[in-house]
Structure 1
């Protein structure tokens, strides 16, 4: 028991018990045989038997006529054979035992608490006879001690597995990865490191359910486990994996492993009548190769993975020093925007949406701005990288929506509110969940009618977030009374499909098409077609980025009623916007014809 308590291996304890039992009975030979999960017998201890006997035992499976031990394990009850030479249980195996002088065998199954047989303890005699009472007591005691040792060992293994292996996939977990990575790094060797992220797992979970998502993760794990022997896969997070490639000294070798990984994901995964195509993004680095500090390898692989996710989902990106610069810039941008949010320096600017033929304001689009510490107003285009941080993106939308509701309520009270006011939503807003409830609460608290609010969504948000999942959220918002506008229309590959499947009230022609008006016939044709489609299905159409009178005239000729751009007015803060709303100024709001007071 002392040996068991100190964590001595079961093999050592079994051998020790066999030797002790043999000492107590001079006529005996003892063995312990483990029963594997597949029913195979495995010799654990047989100190007095030759190797060829143990090797023969290792080829057998439990069964109703497999000697004393195989039968005892099969029936889960003691088996006593007093004459090996004549007993039918030994008919196929007596040629192994008899030449060694073994004439009788009593085998006791070692049964777990759940009723399964873990092992057998066998007591052989060199005489054809039953076991004596003393021998029965010896076997019973040894069996009990083996049972305790097995239970203790299995408990230790369960605890080890729980702390070192992922329970869903069976792959080594983050802790095991960290230990292995640290050991290899300390040894100073050269090895490859791949950081892998499963693309769109949340979309799968939201669309098909978490059971399907778990099955997808398990399938990806199986495919990663089939990589070459020198490539060890780990599951280090919900949708994150890592692969350490032992014999990898150059970029080309690592790229081959990465490409093999991507190829392994190319086949569809069928589950419960659903067909899914696994997709992963991979970032990689060779640790200890090149001039870069090896201590940065893990971080560098993460940088490469992030770049793959942002620019080339479903592909492999090898780390280059420029990626670190890009990542550091992103992190600094996130910090600056977070500080600005905390300090109240995120501002709403409003750009008028006008009737092109009259120049009168019909609506506003809200555009976020950041006031830098030196007072400079920074446009959203210069801190777009901050929106890659999901929590920050959601917080920014909340701040913009709250300020919009406050300003719109004031304008409604003053009788100068526009027909509609539009705010932009990001993919993060939908990924967070509960978007309809959040916006409902914000605008309801200020008494702003939902039908006066337009929510602008780009096609990219729909595509990357999953058309079905995003579609459900948009329908919920639309059912509450919010207007829906499809922003940057025409730039996505499935624009018309989205018009059919989403409850859209308006589309906004992307400024890239407006810029090509009169510059090429193709540009004219595309704009004309978009306007025609919107008109046929009863949607408002708004042209973005109007910067010249010629563009405005062309849009009027093609039947576009609404537009926005610097030709009419640049974005302005709430004070200037209130002045514009009061003046109801015609077209040339930003021209010399109408003086806009300095804000």
Structure 2
């Protein structure tokens, strides 16, 4: 009997403890203490005010259970994950009506992350991410959350604050970039990285949720990355529309490349000494199904913005080498063909190997390919990969032509450093060179420089016999332009070559050499 009574009492005690363990009962504590004061005075009030919380504490009402967190990737411990920053901003929005505090999100993306991994390996990339994460955390306030994003970027959710505006966000983004800028030491190597940052204020997001702010910041970061390196962009309402337009444009351009709508047209180059055909330059033309043949000015910028410049270079290289092979089979001796290489293509760590494979595939000597590089690209020697690739292509045996010479800032040191074979004088110096004395002086100065450095020369944009004759007299080695021949599809080149060689006459001369 006593055991049953004891068991019943214990059951009631446990039931009461379970009931007291519910923390929501704490909302009745003020009413309970007020009732105690009315019924028993101050002494009872003190007993209830002190005893009730103690009773709840003993029952376990204040015991909180930790929510297990997803393990952090790649050993970057201490960082949150995407759901954590979303939850942090959601809490800020829920409390905003009471606190009056605003939040915001920044997304940091590294410039050229693939180049870092290709050059130094995945282990070094992980070390760079870890070091960068430490620097980012050190540059932020206590309460800000940093999360690792897929693909190697970081998201920062700011702790709620009263004064959070556009200027504050820009200053914070610049501070994060400055924190990332110092070199990171990995063994004997010193690695420099830069980042582009996009951000979104909580008040500017399309929807007032943590996910909405984060997605808006990512859209801004993508825009910054396209305009980088080191760009900062704030989210604006038209960014998603522009992004959708770019995606649609990219799909159209990819289709044009895949279906062969963008093709190589070939413009002839002539020797001023012999008048012989010395080569062709491959120039891109878009055979648009509705608008007809479009010149490069209509689509090259769009290709670059869509990130398809490297794909275009591959298409042009294939068509140029195919043309050389077909000319050889037809018995038409064409010494070389020139192909323009974009900065994006020159940053490819495997460019030299890929080019060697293509030449072997067509059984062509490297000397028959002229790699045309804009002077503005060659003047940018901050990119170690571009420097290395140009040197590798020259060592392979390809001719290096410095395109649009005179419009950029390539130094004599760079010209010698990259083993340039030929300077292509920009058309701005060629126009009316037979009439304008200042033009003649400029061209003569360029030709004198080339002669002293042992370089060949080619003048672009030759449109009249007078310009052709003056360039020949000044000593320019080769000419190219509408006055010689317009860019033409491959199918028309054989007839053009036959007609040109049938009427081949010595190059035009003028009565006296320009001084």
> What TM-score results when the alignment is normalised by the length of structure 2?
0.70
Q: Give yes or no for the alignment of 1:192 onto 2:104.
A: yes
- Over 3 Å counting, the alpha-carbon distance change for 1:443 and 1:581 in structure 2 is farther
Task: Identify the match of residue 161 of structure 1 among 53, 71, 74.
Answer: 71
- Over 3 Å counting, the alpha-carbon distance change for 1:342 and 1:273 in structure 2 is closer
- Over 3 Å counting, the alpha-carbon distance change for 1:275 and 1:568 in structure 2 is same
Q: Is the 8 A contact 2:246 2:306 kept in 1?
A: no
Q: Give yes or no for the alignment of 1:260 onto 2:172.
A: no
Instruction: Report what 2:500 is aligned to.
Output: 584
Q: SS of the residue aligned with 2:420? A: coil
Please give the residue correspondences for 1:2-401 in structure 2 after superposition, counting only pairs within 5 Å: 160-162=70-72, 167-168=75-76, 170-174=78-82, 176-177=84-85, 190-207=102-119, 212-226=124-138, 227-246=140-159, 247=161, 249-289=164-204, 298=214, 300-321=216-237, 323-324=239-240, 326-356=242-272, 360-374=276-290, 376-384=292-300, 385-390=302-307, 392-401=308-317
- Over 3 Å counting, the alpha-carbon distance change for 1:584 and 1:550 in structure 2 is closer
Distance 1:431 1:301 in 2: 28
What's the CA shift for 1:335?
1.0
Task: Identify the match of residue 421 of structure 1 among 337, 343, 346.
Answer: 337
Distance 1:208 1:518 in 2: 53
Q: Is the 8 A contact 1:360 1:584 kept in 2?
A: no
Q: SS of the residue aligned with 1:566? A: coil
- Over 3 Å counting, the alpha-carbon distance change for 1:541 and 1:330 in structure 2 is farther
Q: Is the 8 A contact 1:206 1:469 kept in 2?
A: no
Task: Identify the match of residue 407 of structure 1 among 298, 320, 323.
Answer: 323
- Over 3 Å counting, the alpha-carbon distance change for 1:293 and 1:556 in structure 2 is farther
Q: Give yes or no for the alignment of 1:434 onto 2:350.
A: yes
Q: SS of the residue aligned with 1:403? A: helix
Distance 2:126 2:466 in 1: 56
- Over 3 Å counting, the alpha-carbon distance change for 1:312 and 1:442 in structure 2 is closer
Instruction: Report what 1:86 is aligned to.
Output: none
Q: Which runs of 5+ in 1 are unaligned?
A: 1-152, 589-599
What's the CA shift for 1:349?
1.0
Residue deviations 1:195-245 (CA, integer Å, cap 9, x gap): 222234444455556555444333322221122235433331444222223
Distance 2:171 2:289 in 1: 48
- Over 3 Å counting, the alpha-carbon distance change for 1:191 and 1:487 in structure 2 is farther
What's the CA shift for 1:336?
1.0
Q: SS of the residue aligned with 1:418? A: coil
- Over 3 Å counting, the alpha-carbon distance change for 1:556 and 1:197 in structure 2 is farther
- Over 3 Å counting, the alpha-carbon distance change for 1:190 and 1:383 in structure 2 is farther
Distance 1:203 1:458 in 2: 22
Q: How much is the aligned-residue C-alpha RMSD, in angstroms? A: 3.9
Q: SS of the residue aligned with 1:161? A: coil
Residue deviations 1:52-75 (CA, integer Å, cap 9, x gap): xxxxxxxxxxxxxxxxxxxxxxxx
Q: Which runs of 5+ in 2 are unaligned?
A: 1-65, 506-515
Q: SS of the residue aligned with 1:288? A: helix
Higher helix share: 2
- Over 3 Å counting, the alpha-carbon distance change for 1:276 and 1:581 in structure 2 is same
Distance 2:76 2:438 in 1: 53
Distance 1:296 1:555 in 2: 62
> What TM-score results when the alignment is normalised by the length of structure 1?
0.61
Q: Which has the higher contact order (CA 8 A, sep 6+)?
A: 2
Distance 1:256 1:182 in 2: 24
